[in-house]
């Protein structure tokens, strides 16, 4: 991130904006639906050329999102005439909010503006929090932070993928795991690279590019992506009122959704819980064994990572907290210890297809 900020002519200390926004978590999501390490809302993300659709969310891409954040901060710095306090406050509250505050109090002094009641407490504390993060990070021991286990930089190779390709296939060719490929590409929303995105740049483990290119070239185009029928539940937001929206999101048709749910294509579905088709995935475990969600499978598993909570897993896999706890006998604060393998979905076989257990 620092390298990108420097390349764009921005102070490297602005990296601490991402720190206080998200803790550098690629999958962070706020109550306001701001997403990614730099916490872009969709409108601002698209303004800075981040692609956001049913297949990909580049707000989660650390490289592209950091580039977008650098451009946004550069514009804010120019707008507020070289005042980083106002610029970073604008990053938090929006530039128009800060411009109105300047007009209201007739001053360009952030500290004077923050004494008033116009700005929210979050914005008033944002700049001091940013300054504190930068100061502490440069000399953590002085402030009582000792024996810090720093994580190594994420290293990867990039390869261009000409057409939609299964990530489990990529994992198999590179000799790694499906989960690692997903971790390296947090911008991907599904099990494959996006369709209609020629030369999508996929990140793969460092040192595996040559192996991948050789193996990938041997696989016919029509065998790089496969459809396998499985279903999950989707809670329709209140703002969405048509099957067409949900169909586009899950790569299906309104007719199929209507048939699956026993409703008319014209039914208003805002707030309803629908059965939707998703693609089955193949997870290549760290021991090299495969675990395929095929027609005989009745459960889907997930390995808990640091930072996971019942709430976040409930939203991610669209299953209730109560069911997650019951399926996995989750009790106590250490129930979700990183590395633990838990059930996140159960299925029953009906008419030759797997349908999700919902209660």
Question: Alpha-carbon distance 14 to 37, whole Å?
Answer: 13
* Structural domain that includes position 75: 2-143
Regarding whether 178 and 275 lie in a shared domain, the answer is no
What is the structure's pLDDT at 291?
A: 35
Do 27 and 83 belong together in one domain? yes
In a shared domain, residues 236 and 216: no
Q: Could you give the CA distance from residue 256 to residue 234 in angstroms, rounded to a whole number?
A: 15
Distance, CA of 262 to CA of 298 (rounded, Å): 24
Q: Cα dihedral angle (210, 213, 214, 219), rounded to 10 degrees?
A: 160
Of 143, 171, 188, which residue is a domain's last?
143
70 — pLDDT class (breaks 50, 70, 90)? very high
Q: Between 148 and 159, whose confidence is greater?
A: 159
Looking at 143, 175, 195, the residue that finishes a domain is 143
> Chain centroid to CA 81: how far?
33
Query: 105 Cβ partners below 8 Å, 6+ apart?
Result: 112, 113, 116, 118
| Mean pLDDT within 194-218 | 93
Question: Do 185 and 98 share a structural domain?
Answer: no
224 or 249, higher pLDDT: 224
C-alpha span between 175 and 161 (Å, rounded) = 18
Highest mean pLDDT among 28-37, 86-95, 334-343: 86-95
> Which residue, among 199, 196, 194, 211, has the nearest Cα to 157 in the 3D structure?
211
Quick check: helix, strand or coil at residue 248?
A: helix
Question: How many whole angstroms from its chain centre is CA 255?
Answer: 29
| Cβ neighbours, 10 Å, residue 106 | 8
pLDDT computed for residue 151 by the predictor: 80
**Residue-level pLDDT at 306:** 79
- The answer to the question of residue 285 being in a domain is no
The answer to whether residues 44 and 91 belong to one domain is yes
Alpha helices, DSSP H, located in 144-208: 167-174, 178-184
pLDDT of amino acid 358? 58
Is residue 163 domain-resident?
Answer: yes
Q: Are residues 136 and 43 in the same domain?
A: yes
Query: Does 294 map to a domain?
Result: yes
The rounded mean pLDDT for the chain is 84
Q: Would you mind telling me the total number of residues written for the chain in this entry?
A: 359
pTM above 0.85, yes or no: no
- Residue 229 in tokens: 């029928």
CATH number for the domain including 64? 1.10.530.10
pLDDT at 132 over 90: yes
Instruction: Say if 54 falls within a structural domain.
Output: yes
| Residue 148 falls inside a structural domain | no
Please give the Cα distance from 222 to 278 (Å, whole number): 19
Number of domains in the chain: 4
**CATH number for the domain including 317?**
3.10.350.10
- Enumerate residues 6+ apart whose C-beta is below 8 A from 342: 301, 302, 303, 304, 313, 324, 327, 328, 330, 336
DSSP 53: S
For residue 141, give both structure tokens. Answer: 């021991």
Whether residues 311 and 258 fall in one domain: no
Please tell me whether residues 246 and 303 are part of one structural domain.
no
Model pLDDT for residues 284-341, shown as the tens digit of each residue: 233 233 333 333 345 677 878 878 888 888 887 778 888 888 787 776 555 677 777 7
Are residue 8 and residue 130 in the same domain, yes or no?
yes
Beta bridge partners of 202: 159
205's tokens: 């483990």
Q: Look at residue 251 and tell me whether its pLDDT is greater than 50.
A: yes
More reliable by pLDDT, 343 or 184: 184
Residue 229: is its pLDDT beyond 70? no
* Residues 234 and 335 placed together within one structural domain of the fold: no
**Residues 92 and 110 grouped into a single domain:** yes
Establish if 151 belongs to a structural domain.
no
For the chain, give the percent of residues with pLDDT over 70: 86
pLDDT of 186-198, one tens digit each? 999 888 898 878 8
Residue 76 has pLDDT above 60, yes or no: yes
- 22-36, 37-51, 60-74, 303-317: least confident range: 303-317
Note the maximum CA span of the chain. 70
162 and 215 both lie in a single domain:
yes
The answer as to whether 53 is a domain residue is yes
Establish if 150 belongs to a structural domain. no
């Amino acid at each position: 991130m620092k390298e990108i900020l420097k390349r764009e002519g921005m102070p490297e200390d602005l990296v601490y904006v991402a720190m206080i926004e998200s803790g550098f978590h690629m999958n962070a999501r706020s109550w306001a639906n701001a997403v990614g390490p730099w916490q872009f809302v969709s409108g601002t993300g698209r303004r800075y050329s981040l692609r956001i659709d049913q297949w990909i969310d580049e707000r989660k891409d650390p490289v592209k999102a950091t580039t977008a954040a650098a451009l946004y901060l550069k514009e804010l710095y120019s707008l507020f005439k070289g005042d980083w306090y106002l610029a970073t406050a604008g990053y938090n509250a929006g530039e128009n909010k800060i411009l109105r505050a300047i007009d209201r109090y007739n001053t360009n002094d952030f500290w004077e503006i923050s004494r008033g009641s116009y700005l929210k407490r979050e914005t008033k504390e944002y700049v001091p929090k940013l300054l504190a993060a930068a100061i502490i990070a440069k000399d953590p021991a002085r402030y009582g932070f000792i024996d810090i286990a720093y994580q190594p930089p994420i290293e990867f190779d990039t390869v261009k993928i000409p057409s939609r390709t299964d990530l489990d296939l990529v994992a198999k060719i590179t000799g790694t795991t499906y989960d690692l490929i997903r971790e390296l590409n947090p911008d991907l929303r599904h099990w494959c690279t996006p369709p209609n995105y020629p030369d999508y740049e996929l990140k793969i483990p460092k040192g595996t590019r040559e192996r991948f290119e050789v193996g990938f070239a041997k696989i016919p185009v029509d065998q790089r992506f496969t459809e396998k029928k499985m279903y999950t539940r989707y809670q329709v937001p209140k703002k969405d009122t048509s099957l067409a929206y949900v169909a586009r999101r899950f790569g299906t048709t309104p007719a199929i959704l209507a048939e699956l749910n026993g409703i008319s294509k014209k039914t208003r579905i805002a707030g309803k819980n629908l059965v939707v088709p998703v693609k089955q995935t193949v997870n290549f475990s760290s021991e090299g064994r495969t675990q395929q969600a095929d027609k005989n499978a009745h459960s889907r598993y997930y390995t808990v990572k640091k930072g996971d909570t019942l709430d976040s897993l409930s939203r991610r896999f669209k299953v209730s907290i109560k069911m997650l706890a019951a399926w996995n006998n989750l009790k106590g604060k250490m129930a979700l210890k990183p590395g633990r393998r838990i059930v996140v979905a159960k299925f029953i076989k009906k008419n030759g297809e797997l349908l999700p257990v919902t209660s």
